[in-house]
């Protein structure tokens, strides 16, 4: 009888303990699956965030890669030219260069007039019908000033180190420097630098 009671007790204990073990095992599996799902979700979120950063960077940089920088530089120069003309009047795009190399600001009005009348502000202007191989550049400096003569073995402008050949006058800076030297010579000799070479009255 005691043995039978013992067997019954052990059986009942096994039945009670069994579900508890199964329940614990199920809980562990659920926790593992939840943790796995959370890890997968986090990895997906990190991947999407990284892709968004890459896409944002690409969107920001790619438009610059397609810019024609030569055309853009020409556009900026043209805009600067328009601004200078609006500010300084005719041939205003040459104002800053002229002042930088020594032309007095007070002479800009007359210089602007001469530049426009002589060349329409065009650095490549060449009047071949003028004597002494013609007149060149912005101020239409005549070949008389850059060719050998009985007064100068090389040329008046060459003697002053302003240029090497008459064709250097197509360079706007050299042309304005040559014009300034001739203007100053006229100011010193005749009291008016504009009257002789450019047949223009002084202020």
For position 25, what pLDDT does the model report?
Answer: 56
- The tens place of each residue's pLDDT in the chain, 203 residues long, gives 444 444 444 444 444 444 444 445 556 666 766 676 677 677 767 776 676 665 554 445 556 667 888 887 888 888 988 998 999 999 999 999 999 999 999 999 999 999 999 999 999 999 999 999 999 999 999 999 999 999 899 999 999 999 999 999 999 999 999 999 999 999 999 999 999 899 999 87
CA angle 87, 90, 94 (to 5 degrees): 75
**Could you tell me the CA-to-CA distances from 186 to 46, 58, 160, 171, 199 in Å, in that order?**
79, 63, 15, 22, 12
Cross-strand bridge partners of residue 127: 135
The answer for 175, left when phi > 0, alpha when psi is -120 to 50, beta otherwise, is: alpha
Asked if 141 and 162 touch (Cβ cutoff 8 Å), the reply is: no
DSSP for the chain? -HHHHHHHHHHHHHHHHHHHHHHHHHHHHHHHHHHHHHHHHHHHHHHHHHHHHHHHHHHHHHHHHT--HHHHHHHHHHHHHHHHHHHH-TTGGGHHHHHHTT--GGGHHHHHHHHHHHHTT-TT-EETTSTTT-EETTTTEEGGGGS--SS-SS-HHHHTTS-SSGGGGGSHHHHHHHHHHHHHHHHHHHS-TTHHHH-----
CB atoms within 10 A of CB 97: 15
**What phi and psi values does residue 161 have, to the nearest 5 degrees?**
70, 20
pLDDT at 107: 97
Contact 117, 111 (CB under 8 A): no
At 19 the pLDDT is: 46
Tell me which residue of 155, 149, 130 sits closest to 140, measured CA to CA: 130
How confident is the model at residue 47, as a pLDDT? 72
Q: pTM to 2 decimals?
A: 0.66
Pick the CATH number of 71-198 from 1.10.940.10, 1.10.3720.10, 1.10.530.10, 1.20.1600.10: 1.10.530.10
């Amino acid at each position: 009888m005691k043995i039978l009671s013992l067997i019954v007790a052990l059986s009942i204990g096994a039945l009670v303990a069994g579900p508890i073990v199964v329940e614990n095992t199920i809980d562990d599996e659920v926790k593992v699956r939840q943790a796995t799902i959370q890890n997968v979700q986090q990895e997906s979120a990190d991947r999407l965030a990284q892709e968004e950063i890459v896409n944002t960077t690409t969107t920001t940089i790619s438009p610059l890669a397609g810019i024609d920088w030569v055309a853009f530089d020409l556009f900026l120069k043209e805009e600067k030219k328009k601004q200078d003309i609006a500010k300084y009047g005719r041939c205003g795009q040459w104002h800053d260069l002229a002042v930088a190399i020594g032309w007095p600001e007070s002479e800009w009005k007359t210089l602007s007039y001469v530049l426009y009348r002589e060349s329409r502000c065009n650095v490549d202007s060449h009047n071949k019908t003028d004597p002494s191989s013609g007149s060149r550049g912005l101020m239409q400096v005549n070949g008389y000033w850059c060719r050998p003569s009985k007064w100068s073995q090389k040329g008046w402008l060459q003697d002053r180190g302003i240029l090497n050949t008459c064709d250097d006058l197509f360079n706007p800076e050299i042309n304005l420097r040559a014009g300034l030297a001739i203007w100053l010579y006229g100011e010193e000799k005749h009291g008016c630098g504009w009257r002789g070479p450019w047949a223009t009255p002084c202020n």
